[in-house]
Structures are given as structure tokens and as C-alpha cells.
Amino acid sequence: MRHNFTVTTKRQKLAAGGIALILLAIALYVYMGMGKDNMQKVRRNSPVVEVQEVVRADMGRHIVLSGQTVADASISLAPKYNGRITAVYVELGDWVEEGQVLMVQDLEDLDISIAQNAAAAGAARADVRETAATYNANLSSKKNAYELASAKYERQKYLFSIGAISQDKLDSVEAEYSAAKAAYEVLANQQAGGMAAAIESKELLAAKQEHATEALEKQRSDMILRAPRSGIIAYRNAEVGAMAAAGTKAFTLVDNGHINVDCTIGENDAAILQAGMEVNVTIDALGKDFLGKIIFVSPAMDEDSKSYRVRVSLDNPDNTVKAGLFAHTAVDILQRPQTIFVPQSAVLTRNGEQYVFVLREDGTVERRVVKIGLLNDVSEEILEGLAEGEKVVLTNQDKLQDGMKVKVAAE
């Protein structure tokens, strides 16, 4: 059997080696290119975050107060009794002084009743005097008769003891003595507290009549409606000849001599706001600022609004401020001197645990649990977990994991 063998020449070996080198170069190029793409892909997937360096500084709270101006007094005035109006002495917008008469109701019938009761009270008082005179005279007479009968009885007892008079005579004198004693004691025993019952009864009747007269005089006074304090008549519903109904508002008296601003705040602000703080209140409608002072911070939350009430006393020397104007101010309060605090955006909460992401020097982040202290509108105090000079992440925390590489945006 005959075999055919192919003889490899030197040229063929060189050609094969060249092809192998070309294939190796192609493979190396592809491998290096894929690695570069992978590195760029990893770099592109690194989250971009903003960071802030932790520093120690004074932590304060900026509290904004806004509300409406409120008059020092706005009083509705109404008659106490029904009656026809006979005089009205004020117009809408008039300034009145305390005690000034605003309106008068018909007093004629009341004056007659007062005169009648006064006369009856005088008669009752005269009856007291007459009763007292009669009683005192009777008491004196009965006392004298009793004393005479007592002396006579004692003499008769002595005469009887020596046999000068009979038993019948003694018994007769004793009966006279007993009758005189009983008559005196009837009057004497009426006295209690220095006054006899007959006189006290008349005295009480006279006092009752006098009190009835005083009640009518008080009613007469109430039917003359007066200003309880100085102010401006802001409402008037009273005309001469009209019937005024008891309890129906006839006037409104407003005193703008002193103005307050009533505001509402949340519980965090109410916890640190205190009465006595001076503020600068702006009223936009007037384009002016007024000096004020916090005079009241509600001690309890309002159940309806779930807020706390604050009242600012406002100086209003020129009476330019009216009630119902929008006013606002702000108070800056030092919460804690030289402490560590971070923006609220840096602190996250999960399962009741607060934590932040801290940027390491190698560009990775560390998830770190922290303890929170005071709060304000923008910052949270860090009591434990952070040191001065460290950097906390402010954005994109939802994309971060402990140890992850990040790209830092401009601080």
C-alpha cells in the first residue's frame, strides 16, 4: 500500500505564525476594550451625592408668627330691660368716655313706682318707731309694777311671819306679785340681741320696703345705658321712639387704644417661646413696623385646631392700627450653643432607628446610627454618632448602601 505525505515548507510555517499573532492581537484588543467599557460602566453607575462637613456652631430656631390684629376691647352693649327709647346721645363713629350716657329708656312709670315704694318705706320706718315707743313704755310700766308687787310681797311675808296678817291676806298679795311678774316677763322675754320681737318684725318690714325701693332705683339706673370704658362707637342700632328689647345689642364699643396680635403656633415652637420676648411686628396694609412684646403663650393645646395661641401686645400710640389687619413677625431663639447639627435631609429613619451616611476618605459611604437631640425647621441636633469635621451625605441616600463608592458633587 502506498502513502502520500505533505511536506511543510518554511514559507508555510511563517505564514501560519503570522496568522496566529494577528489573532492574538485581535483577542487582546477585544479584551482590553471590554474591560475599559466595564470600568466606565461602573463609574457611570456610582451615585452622585451632595455632602456637607459637620461643624460645631450655635443652633437656633427661627419662629414665624402671623395672625390678625385684635382690639384691646370690643364690647357689645345691650339694654337690661325692655322699654321705649326716649333719648340717644351718640352717633356711629363717636368717641365716648367711660361713664358717658349713650341711651335712655322711658323712666316715667319707674319714677312713679320708686316714689310709691319710698313712701311705703317711710311709713314702715315710722311704724317701727311707734312700735318701739309703745313697747318700751309698756316694758317700763310692767317692770315698775313688778318691782312694786315684789316689794309688797316681801313685806307681807314678814308681817305674816310675826302674825300681823292672815294667810288669806298673804295669798292675795302673792297672787298680785305673780301676775305682775308674768306681765313683765312676757315683754322682757321678747328681746333677742337687744331688740324685741315686735320691733324686729316692724324693722324687717321697713327694710324689705327699702330694699324694694333700692331695686327699683337700680333698675332705673340700668335703663340709662352708659359707656363701660372709653372707645369708639362702631355699631349703633337705637332710635328714639323705638322699643329696645332686653339683651338685644344696641351699640358696639371698640377701644383701639391698645392693639394685640393673636397668632397660632405648633407644639415645637410653643415649647420654647416665652412671654416677655420683644418682637418687631410688620403690618403690610400700613407698610409700617411696630414694636411689640409677647404677653401670652397658651399653656395647653386647643383641641379643635391642635395648635397653641400666642398674643403679642402692640404699641399703637397714634391709633393708626385697626382691628382685623394681617400682621406678622419672627423670633430667633438660641436652642443650644456650640453643638453639632446637620440638615434634616441628612437624617433617615428606618424601623425606629435614625441614621446618616458618612463619606469616607476613600470615596465610599458608611451607614451610621445617630442619636437625635433638638429640632428646628431645617436642622437636627446630633448627640451621638458624628464627630466634627466628618462629612454627611445630603442627597440620593435611597440609592446608597454601606460601603458603596459614590461620586461627590460640588460641595
Q: Are residues 127 and 211 in the same domain?
A: yes
Spatial neighbors of 240 by CB under 8 A, at least 6 apart, are: 85, 86, 87, 88
Q: What is the DSSP letter of 399?
A: G
Contact 383, 354 (CB under 8 A): no
DSSP conformation letters of 266-327: -HHHHTT--TT-EEEEEETTTTEEEEEEEEEE-SS-BTTTTBEEEEEEE--TTS---TT-EE
Q: Are residues 131 and 269 in the same domain?
A: no
Residue 238 belongs to a domain with what CATH number? 2.40.50.100
Residue the block writes with cell 313683765: 184
Q: Are residues 345 and 320 in the same domain?
A: no
| Alpha-carbon span 47 to 122, nearest angstrom | 103
Counted domains in the chain: 4
pLDDT score recorded for residue 46: 83
Query: pLDDT tens, 348-396?
Result: 999 989 999 999 999 999 999 999 998 888 999 999 999 999 999 999 9
Query: pLDDT tens, 78-97?
Result: 999 999 999 999 999 999 99
Q: Are residues 92 and 241 in the same domain?
A: yes
* Within-domain flag for 34: no
Q: Are residues 302 and 363 in the same domain?
A: no
DSSP H or E stretch at residue 358: strand 353-359
Query: pLDDT tens, 288-304?
Result: 999 999 999 999 998 88
Contact 406, 50 (CB under 8 A): no
CA distance to 118, 204, 275, 328, per residue, from 113 (Å): 8, 21, 54, 57
| Alpha-carbon span 57 to 61, nearest angstrom | 13
Residue 138 belongs to a domain with what CATH number? 1.10.287.470
| Alpha-carbon span 372 to 51, nearest angstrom | 19
State the chain's mean pLDDT as an integer.
Answer: 88
Angle formed at CA 149 by CA 148 and CA 150, multiple of 5 degrees: 90
Spatial CA neighbour of 72 closest among 319, 298, 264, 302: 319
* Within-domain flag for 7: no
Q: Are residues 123 and 215 in the same domain?
A: yes
| Alpha-carbon span 34 to 95, nearest angstrom | 92
Q: Are residues 101 and 235 in the same domain?
A: yes
| Alpha-carbon span 363 to 406, nearest angstrom | 6
pLDDT score recorded for residue 66: 93
Spatial CA neighbour of 225 closest among 380, 78, 13: 78
Q: Is the pLDDT assigned to residue 36 strictly greater than 60?
A: no
Q: Are residues 231 and 216 in the same domain?
A: no
State the residue range of the domain holding 349: 48-59+337-408
All three cell numbers of 386: 458624628
Contact 201, 195 (CB under 8 A): no
Q: Is the pLDDT assigned to residue 200 strictly greater than 60?
A: yes
Residue 376 belongs to a domain with what CATH number? 2.40.420.20
Contact 182, 145 (CB under 8 A): no
Q: Are residues 369 and 392 in the same domain?
A: yes
Q: Is 99 left (phi over 0), alpha (psi -120 to 50) or beta?
A: left
Q: Are residues 312 and 271 in the same domain?
A: yes
* Within-domain flag for 391: yes
Residue 259 belongs to a domain with what CATH number? 2.40.30.170
Domain end among 289, 308, 336: 336
The confidence band for 322, taking pLDDT boundaries of 50, 70 and 90, is confident
Phi, psi of 151 (to 5 degrees): -65, -40
Rg (CA), the chain: 53
Which class for 145: exposed (0-12), middle (13-18), buried (19 or more C-beta within 10 A)? middle
* Other beta carbons within 10 Å of 30: 10
| Alpha-carbon span 24 to 144, nearest angstrom | 160
* Within-domain flag for 26: no
The confidence band for 38, taking pLDDT boundaries of 50, 70 and 90, is very low
DSSP conformation letters of 127-148: HHHHHHHHHHHHHHHHHHHHHH
The confidence band for 179, taking pLDDT boundaries of 50, 70 and 90, is very high
| Alpha-carbon span 67 to 51, nearest angstrom | 38
